[in-house]
Amino acid sequence: MAERRSTACVRRRRPSVIRFLLIYALVVGHFGRLKLPLVIMLPVPLTLLGIVLGHWAIGAKFTATSMIGFIALAGIVVRNSVLLIEVIEARRAGGTSVREAVIEAGAVRFRPILLTAVTAISAIVETAHHHQSTIAAASRVNPSAI
């Protein structure tokens, strides 16, 4: 049983690495640089760390739904990173220093990033609350058919 589970994990991990490399290649193609996509994609493993710690904190199992949530969250993070870098590069093209460009980009993108985060968090909280309510209701049901 453990051997089958290990093989299944390897089979699932391989396509994930390939997808990660394909996304990296797309971002390299978009920006024309090799190091910048690393900066853009650096938060992706950190989101996985946050998800694992969150599951551990509430005692939840990491399920296929959790993986779908991770993929969605990683997409949001990469999108926000790309947009932030594009604003920084636009400011740099206008002759702004790196420090000023980063500060201005953070100010410009703060509200959209915050709104995206709040929306995602509220959806997660609602889903978790609904899930917990469903579990509580199911535990109160008296199975009369048995």
Predicted local distance difference test score (pLDDT) of residue 78? 86
Buried b (16+ CB within 10 A) or exposed e, 80-105: bbbebbebbeebeeeebeeeebbebb
Q: What is the pLDDT of residues 21-64, one digit of tens each?
A: 888 898 899 888 899 888 888 888 888 888 888 888 878 788 88
Give 93 or 75, the one with higher predicted confidence. 93
Q: What is the pLDDT of residues 90-141, one digit of tens each?
A: 999 999 999 999 999 999 999 998 998 888 878 777 776 665 555 555 455 4
* Token pair for 95: 């002759």
All structural domains of the chain with their residue ranges:
1-40, 42-146
